[in-house]
Amino acid sequence: MQINPTNIDFKQIRTELMRFMMAYEFALEEINTKINILKQEFEYVHDYNPIEHVKSRVKSPESIINKVKKKKLTLNIPSIQENIRDIAGIRITCSFVNDIYKIAQMLEKQKDITVIEKKDYIQNPKPNGYKSLHLIIQIPIFMSDRVENIYTEIQIRTIAMDFWASLEHKIYYKYNKEIPAHLRKELKDAAVSANQLDEKMERIHREINVLKEADGQTLTNEEAFPFPADLILPLLNDSDHGKE
């Protein structure tokens, strides 16, 4: 069956494709805003920021088409939206393993985020040694004439996990996905070393926090928002009156 090009509304197709790609960009903007709010709150209130780096990307149209072919999907927008759930992706890098679960929990509690799937490769690493926490979430995007519920993949890992994954990825494609046995062993050993580093840094972090608490050090960043005494005292007095 031949398609007559004169019967195709190219303008409408172009508009729908633009909306399709823009929805994923908007989803990343929404989630990045949420992450930035958490970062600033931790910096100002707790004087500690568990989020080291954040990277985000939307797959290119070519990459999406390749995945459609690989998964043997129907080539239409609804099928792609439902079956390819990592078109929009965010990677959050943390200092410590405990931070990974803390950040995931804070995101999961947000009312407009629905967690569709969770894969914990930290508790259950992949055979090659890969570790990370993966979340597939859905977030509503309010367009001018519709609401799109967009899937987004969030990966949360430590700096050590991220370094290992980046190196493994480069080697994987350098050898055209056929990594020599001796390099696979080296990578597995490196994954063990990265895990040991994470555990050691976690212990040091806990000890520092214990020492801070023992010394009575505040965890609030007073330099970020220095409040004058003549403002703080009336607030404290009002708080005391409210308890009576």
Greater pLDDT, 176 or 25: 25
Greater pLDDT, 186 or 214: 186
> Using CA atoms, how far apart are residues 42 and 52, in angstroms rounded to an integer?
12
The tens digit of pLDDT for each residue in 109-150 reads 999 999 999 999 999 999 999 999 999 999 999 999 889 999
Residues carrying an active site annotation: 153
The pLDDT of residue 74 is above 50: yes
Instruction: Show the DSSP H helices in the chain as ranges.
Output: 10-41, 61-71, 77-83, 97-108, 159-174, 181-214, 229-243
pTM for the predicted model, two decimal places? 0.81
> Using CA atoms, how far apart are residues 71 and 35, in angstroms rounded to an integer?
32
Nearest to 220 by CA among 49, 47, 50, 37: 47
Region 56-75 average pLDDT: 94
Region 53-79 average pLDDT: 94
Please report the domains of the chain, with CATH numbers, ordered by start residue.
Answer: 12-162 (3.30.460.10)
Name the least confident of 18-27, 186-195, 223-232. Answer: 223-232
At residue 174, the pLDDT reads 80
> Using CA atoms, how far apart are residues 193 and 46, in angstroms rounded to an integer?
30
> Using CA atoms, how far apart are residues 84 and 63, in angstroms rounded to an integer?
11
Nearest to 119 by CA among 130, 138, 101, 135: 135
Asked if 33 contacts 56 with a C-beta cutoff of 8 angstroms, the reply is no
Query: Which of 2-11, 24-33, 212-221 is the most confident on average?
Result: 24-33
Share of the chain above pLDDT 70, in %: 84
The pLDDT of residue 1 is above 50: no
Q: What's the whole-number average pLDDT of the chain?
A: 87
Region 45-59 average pLDDT: 90
Region 94-106 average pLDDT: 95
Pairing between β-strand 88-94 and β-strand 147-158 as defined by DSSP bridges? parallel
> Using CA atoms, how far apart are residues 18 and 152, in angstroms rounded to an integer?
18
At residue 26, the pLDDT reads 97
